[in-house]
């Protein structure tokens, strides 16, 4: 076991200042993290990284997650794998639209003409209308500058990203991949167009998918309405949505409810509008709610949709896409009273129509009592501000197993085949897949997004033939059907009878994000690359997007490739603020990564992130970052010390040295196993624990010998210490490299060639120790040294003060261990006389020297 030491160049006062900038620049110059695409698949570790949503600032949670799996990436790279570590920016869709509106103070008005050389200044707070194309240009402009800011942060925290692989979700490549995948879904019958009731955001004016909805407690009120029976009696019905009375198509009771059995099959008349509606029975009617009778409207909530569909009821829609009651009187309102009531409600928003309806009902005597205020859960778009309405519209859907048991089972099997870290996250996937209640609605009515690559023919009367979509030719992708022309037509055919129209909708952002492996791997554009990286190894992501990003990626991969997109998924936890509250902009408790990076340094911030277990919610704790920074400084100083004692070369012969290396060897084993199980926090903890005992005990014990005091410079014992120190430092720096890449690289550069981040991961074989002697020596001697220190501290002496007599009592093993390190122990403790005595109980007795000589 020989360790040859090359030239060493250690700064006088090592410091963390400036390391980030220095090494980021050198890594870029030397292409340390560049992806070598010539390597075969089995030598590649491919990561499907989450593209952060491009907005004003990078969320700390994004940095937290990225740092964690960067440590994994660095481990595998040192392990000899070529790591495919791309990064993408999600700059497509509503968040970008919103940001552009707010940043520039503009809104998109598609009716305006394009202004080619418009110079639009940022005037937040305004709402200046601009053309669609000008708006899209602003989207590109702003996201490009946001992305530069994001990249700076990512570089600042030392992510080992292959920057040549960067992609954006609005780029031509992403458009091409999204559109191609959609065309294939369409060709295989997995995508279809359907006109159906749809959850609709009335402000943003777009359809919303199940995955993007959430329930929020919202104030409402029960109104008790008087419906009229044919025999002259009344039926009382509670509703929270009286404004939908004109849309009432039936009233419903539970089939087993004895109170209303006679009513079923009869007809009742609605209040105000005097429309006859049937009384029907359905098990979803809750006898305990209100009077046990509910009105069915088209559509007040999703239960209405179920009743409407299952009972074959007619459609009487009155709410428009703008969330207002329609202007013209519905043709089923025929009486004079009905017309009068409608006139008072037309064009009102649902909220004000609700109040007006209550007034009208009170006046007609058909409102019983006062409305009773309640708070109930109401469905919203997660980015929206008003409750969702249900409107009927034509949308694209993708089959996701909700209506197909075989497909659903296949998706559940995929979830079981995937390795989850932590494992319990799998349950969230299974519940989501098991609870899907409809196919995936992928179309959105928005300005900025990836258009559907289809057109529709018009018949001789100018009607759109939605049943005969014209798909784009794959070779022409990406296309914009608003400006491009379908095969076999010319631009002059647009919007003419016997001509065509382009599909005006864009895809849901998840319809693109679900294809990140295909985008990053250049599916079809670069088949050689794709074959080398797909299926990938790891999908790291946050827990909140299991039902969206993770599920949809599995779905698309299964539809297109019939395989899982990756073998492992690692789910990181939430970031909470110091008070353990979830960080959010509205609470004003968001801490920016830039500020933390500036204050604690990259390695300090990384230490905090890597200390957290996968899947565990974690507080943004500055104290933990300070600890990390302190560790990095300690690495600098301890390394400087170690390197001051190396020189020449030697062989590790001393038992104490061998004992230290044996412990390091088991640290390497544990750390490697932890990384292989995606338990980066355990790897860090083991490495750190070894390092501190290395500094506190081994360095203290060995430094006198390593200096060569009282020996010739080339003494074998000195040579042994120096070789062991040198080897231990090399191994420890490499163990720290995934967590503290800057300080590890800095120290490495003092005495080694090349980057530590391409150096081999420490192997047990480097620490192969011949011989069978007792390797617990360090443990025993460190314990004795601890007793000596305690004695000095208790007596308030300096640790350098002399010990007159040190007596160690114990069995032969204990005494043998102490004897093996006798010289080191005596030197480290300033011991005048060391006595070993056999005895039944281990004991250590310290007699301090004369205090005056201390």
Partner RNA sequence: GGGCGCUUAGCUCAGUUGGUUAGAGCGCAGCCUUCACACGGCUGAGGUCGGAGGUUCGAGUCCUCUAGCGCCCA
Q: Nearest to residue 600, comparing CAs of 16, 12, 14?
A: 16
- Determine if 779 is a binding residue for RNA (CB under 7 A): no
Residue tagged 């949308």 (tokens) = 395
Looking at 257, 685, 766, 807, which residue binds RNA (CB under 7 A)? 685
Alpha-carbon gap, residue 445 to 207, rounded angstroms: 7
Shortest distance in whole angstroms from residue 365 CB to RNA: 36
Encoded one letter per residue, x for contact with RNA by CB under 7 A and - for no contact, window 316-335 reads --------------------
Residue 682 makes contact with RNA by CB under 7 A: yes
- Asked whether position 286 contacts RNA by CB under 7 A, the answer is no
Which H or E run contains 249?
Answer: strand 248-253
Judged by CB under 7 A, does residue 385 bind RNA?
no
Considering only residues 173, 175, 703, 722, which one is a binding residue for RNA as defined by CB under 7 A?
A: 703
Our finding on whether 699 is near RNA (CB under 7 A) is yes
- Is residue 695 involved in binding RNA (CB under 7 A)? yes
Question: Which of 278, 543, 647, 816 is the binder for RNA (CB under 7 A)?
Answer: 543
**Token code pair at residue 469:** 């979509």
Interface residue with RNA, options 409, 798, 837, 845 (CB under 7 A): 798
CA distances from 632 to 15, 595, 596, 602, 629 (A): 9, 19, 16, 10, 5
- Please report whether residue 776 would count as binding RNA according to CB under 7 A: no
Residue 793 as a binder of RNA (CB under 7 A): the answer is yes
For residues 556 and 528, the answer to whether their CB atoms sit within 8 Å is no
- Nearest distance in Å: CB 763, RNA: 19
Q: Name the minimum Å distance from CB 379 to RNA.
A: 9
Number of Cβ atoms within 10 Å of the Cβ of 7: 6
User: How many residues belong to the site for RNA (CB under 7 A)?
Assistant: 64
Would you give the binding string for RNA spanning residues 569-588, x where CB under 7 A is met? Answer: -------x---x-x------
- Give the number of other Cβ atoms within 10 Å of residue 258's Cβ: 8
Whole-number Å distance between alpha carbons of 102 and 104: 6
| Residue among 466 and 692 whose Cβ is closer to RNA | 692
Contacts (CB under 7 A) with RNA, residues 460-519: none
Question: Closest separation between CB of residue 545 and RNA, Å?
Answer: 10
- In degrees and rounded to multiples of 5, residue 260 shows phi and psi of -120, 10
- Contact call for residue 98 and RNA (CB under 7 A): no
Strand order from edge to edge, sheet including 566-571 = 419-421, 566-571, 536-541
Q: For residue 364, what are its two tokens? A: 């007609």
Handedness of CA 702, 703, 707, 708 (dihedral sign): negative
What torsion do the CA atoms of 535, 538, 539, 541 make, to the nearest 10 degrees? Answer: -170
Cβ–Cβ < 8 Å for 563, 557: yes
Distance CA 56, CA 54 (A): 7
623 binds RNA (CB under 7 A): yes
Using CB under 7 A, pick the residue from 124, 786, 811, 839 that binds RNA. 786
User: Residue 634 interacts with RNA (CB under 7 A)?
Assistant: yes
Tell me how crowded residue 448 is: count the other CB atoms within 10 A of its CB: 22
Is residue 290 within 8 A of residue 238, CB to CB? The reply is: yes
User: Taking CB under 7 A as the rule, does residue 789 contact RNA?
Assistant: yes
Task: Give the nearer residue to RNA in terms of CB position, either 557 or 572.
Answer: 572
**Only segment of 87-95, 178-186, 308-316, 624-632 that touches RNA (CB under 7 A):** 624-632
Cβ 419 vs Cβ 432: under 8 Å: no
- d(C-alpha 696, C-alpha 782), whole Å: 9
Judged by beta carbon, residue 122 or residue 689, the one nearer RNA is: 689
Which of 613, 662, 763, 769 is close enough to bind RNA by CB under 7 A? 613
Q: Which two tokens stand for residue 251?
A: 């009233």
Residues 423 to 452: which contact RNA by CB under 7 A? 424, 427-428, 431-432, 435, 437
Structure tokens at 775: 């390797």
Query: What's the CA gap between 550 and 540, in Å, rounded?
Result: 10
Minimum distance, C-beta of residue 190 to RNA, in the bound complex (Å): 22
DSSP annotation of 329:
P
Binding site for RNA (CB under 7 A): 15-17, 210, 214-215, 377, 424, 427-428, 431-432, 435, 437, 543-544, 547, 576, 580, 582, 611-613, 616-619, 621, 623-624, 627, 629-630, 633-634, 637-638, 640-641, 644, 670, 673-674, 679, 681-682, 685, 689, 692, 695-696, 699-700, 703, 786, 789-790, 793-794, 796-800
């Amino acid at each position: 076991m020989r360790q040859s030491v090359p030239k060493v160049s250690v700064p006088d006062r090592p410091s963390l200042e400036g390391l980030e900038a220095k090494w980021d620049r050198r890594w870029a110059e030397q292409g340390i993290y560049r992806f070598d695409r010539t390597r075969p698949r089995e030598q590649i570790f491919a990561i499907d990284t989450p593209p952060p949503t491009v907005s004003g600032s990078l969320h700390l949670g994004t940095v937290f997650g990225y740092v964690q799996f960067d440590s994994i990436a660095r481990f595998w790279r040192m392990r000899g794998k070529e790591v495919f570590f791309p990064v993408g920016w999600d700059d497509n869709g509503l968040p970008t639209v919103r940001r552009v509106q707010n940043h520039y103070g503009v809104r998109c008005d598609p009716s305006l003409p394009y202004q080619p050389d418009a110079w639009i200044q940022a005037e937040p707070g305004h709402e200046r209308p601009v053309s669609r194309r000008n708006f899209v240009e602003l989207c590109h402009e702003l996201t490009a500058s946001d992305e530069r800011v994001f990249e700076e942060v990512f570089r600042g925290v030392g992510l080992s990203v292959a920057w040549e692989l960067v992609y954006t979700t609005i780029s031509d490549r992403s458009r091409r991949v999204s559109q191609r995948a959609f065309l294939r879904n369409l060709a295989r019958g997995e995508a279809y167009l359907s006109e159906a009731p749809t959850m609709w955001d009335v402000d943003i004016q777009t359809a919303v998918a199940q995955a993007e909805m959430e329930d929020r407690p919202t104030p409402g009120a029960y109104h008790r309405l008087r419906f009229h029976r044919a025999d002259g009696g009344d039926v009382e019905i509670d509703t929270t949505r009286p404004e939908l009375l004109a849309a009432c198509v039936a009233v419903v009771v539970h089939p087993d409810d004895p109170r209303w059995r006679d009513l079923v099959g009869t007809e009742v008349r609605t209040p105000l509008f005097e429309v006859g509606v049937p009384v029907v029975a359905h098990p979803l009617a809750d006898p305990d709610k209100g009077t046990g009778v509910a009105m069915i409207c088209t559509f007040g909530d999703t239960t209405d949709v179920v009743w409407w569909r299952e009972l074959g009821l007619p459609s009487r829609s009155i709410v428009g896409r703008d969330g207002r009651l329609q202007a013209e009187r519905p043709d089923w309102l025929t009486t004079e009273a009905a017309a009068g009531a409608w006139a008072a409600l037309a064009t009102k928003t649902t909220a004000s129509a609700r109040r007006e309806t209550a007034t009208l009902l009170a006046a007609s005597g058909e409102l019983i009592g006062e409305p009773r205020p309640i708070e109930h859960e109401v469905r919203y778009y997660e980015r929206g501000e008003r409750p969702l309405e249900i409107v009927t519209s034509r949308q694209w859907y993708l089959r996701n197993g909700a209506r197909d048991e075989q497909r659903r089972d296949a998706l559940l099997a995929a979830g079981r085949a995937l390795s989850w870290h932590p494992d319990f996250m799998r349950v969230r996937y299974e519940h989501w897949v098991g609870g899907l209640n409809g196919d995936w609605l992928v179309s959105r009515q928005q300005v900025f997004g990836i258009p559907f690559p289809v057109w529709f023919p018009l018949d001789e009367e100018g009607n759109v033939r939605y049943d005969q979509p014209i798909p784009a030719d794959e070779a022409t992708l990406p296309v914009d059907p608003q400006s491009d022309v379908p095969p076999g037509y010319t631009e002059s055919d647009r919007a003419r009878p016997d001509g065509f129209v382009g599909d005006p909708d864009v895809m849901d952002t998840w319809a693109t994000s679900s294809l990140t492996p295909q985008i990053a791997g250049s599916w079809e554009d670069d088949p050689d690359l794709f074959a080398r990286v797909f299926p990938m190894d790891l999908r790291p992501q946050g827990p909140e997007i299991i039902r969206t990003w993770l599920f949809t990626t599995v779905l698309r991969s299964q539809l297109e490739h019939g395989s899982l997109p990756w073998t492992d998924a690692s789910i990181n936890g939430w970031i909470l603020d110091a008070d353990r509250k979830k960080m959010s902009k509205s609470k004003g408790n968001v801490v920016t990564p830039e500020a933390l990076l500036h204050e604690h340094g990259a390695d300090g911030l990384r230490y905090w992130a890597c200390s957290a277990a996968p899947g565990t919610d974690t507080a943004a704790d500055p104290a933990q970052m300070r600890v990390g920074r302190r560790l990095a400084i300690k690495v600098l100083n301890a390394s400087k010390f170690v390197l001051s004692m190396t020189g020449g070369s030697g062989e590790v012969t001393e038992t104490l040295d061998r004992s230290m290396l044996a412990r390091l060897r088991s640290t390497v084993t544990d750390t490697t196993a932890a990384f292989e199980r995606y338990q980066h926090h355990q790897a860090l903890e083991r490495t750190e624990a070894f390092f501190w005992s290395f500094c506190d005990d081994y360095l203290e014990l060995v430094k006198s010998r390593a200096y060569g005091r009282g020996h010739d410079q080339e003494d074998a014992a000195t040579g042994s210490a120096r070789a062991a120190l040198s080897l231990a430092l090399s191994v420890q720096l490499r163990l720290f490299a995934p967590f503290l890449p800057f300080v590890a690289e800095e120290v490495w550069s003092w005495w080694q060639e090349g980057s530590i981040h391409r150096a081999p991961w420490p192997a047990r074989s480097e620490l192969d120790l011949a011989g069978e002697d007792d390797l617990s020596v360090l443990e025993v001697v460190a314990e004795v040294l601890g007793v000596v220190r305690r004695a000095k501290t208790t007596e308030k002496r300096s640790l350098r003060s002399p010990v007159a007599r040190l007596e160690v009592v114990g069995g032969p093993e204990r005494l043998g261990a102490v004897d093996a390190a006798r010289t080191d122990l005596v030197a480290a403790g300033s011991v005048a006389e060391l006595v070993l005595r056999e005895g039944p109980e281990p004991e250590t007795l310290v007699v301090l020297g004369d205090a005056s000589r201390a």
